[in-house]
Amino acid sequence: MAKQNLSRQAKKHLDETSQPAKKADLRKVATPPKQAVAPPKPAAAPPKPAVAPPKPVVPEPVVVAVSPPPPEKTKRPRFVREKVEKKPEAKTKALPLPPRSKKLVAKLMSQNLAIPPKDDRTGLPKP
């Protein structure tokens, strides 16, 4: 039979199943013959005492020790940044807008449109 890695319980089971005859013979040889045991003698009943039955035992209430509460933590004051007084702004009159342009390019630019540039100088460097 090949060697196997077995647990203790599996090895024990394997030994019991593979060699039952040897163990049975050893048990018979090892055990001495039993002697006859005499039946136990009945003990004499003790006389009953003439005392009144005892009072029922009432358990005393258990007092649980109460630990003192932990000390209260003091709250730190909330950090608030100091307010700096702002200097009053001098209100100045808004400058008047320039007069409205009458050119076609300016009108198109106000509507987010533009005329494509002229392609008279393509690819030449600026002088």
Q: What is the pLDDT of residue 27?
A: 53
Predicted confidence band of residue 21 (pLDDT cuts 50, 70, 90)? low
Q: What does the pLDDT look like over 38-96, one tens digit per residue?
A: 666 666 666 666 667 778 888 888 888 888 888 888 888 999 999 888 887 777 788 88
Q: Are 105 and 115 in contact (CB under 8 A)?
A: yes
On average, the pLDDT of the chain sits at 75
Q: What is the pLDDT of residue 90?
A: 73
User: Mean pLDDT throughout 19-46?
Assistant: 60
Cα 93 to Cα 31: distance, rounded to the nearest angstrom: 125
Q: What is the pLDDT of residue 104?
A: 87
Q: What is the pLDDT of residue 33?
A: 61
Q: What is the pTM of this model?
A: 0.19
Instruction: Provide the residue type at 106 as one letter.
Output: A
Predicted confidence band of residue 112 (pLDDT cuts 50, 70, 90)? confident
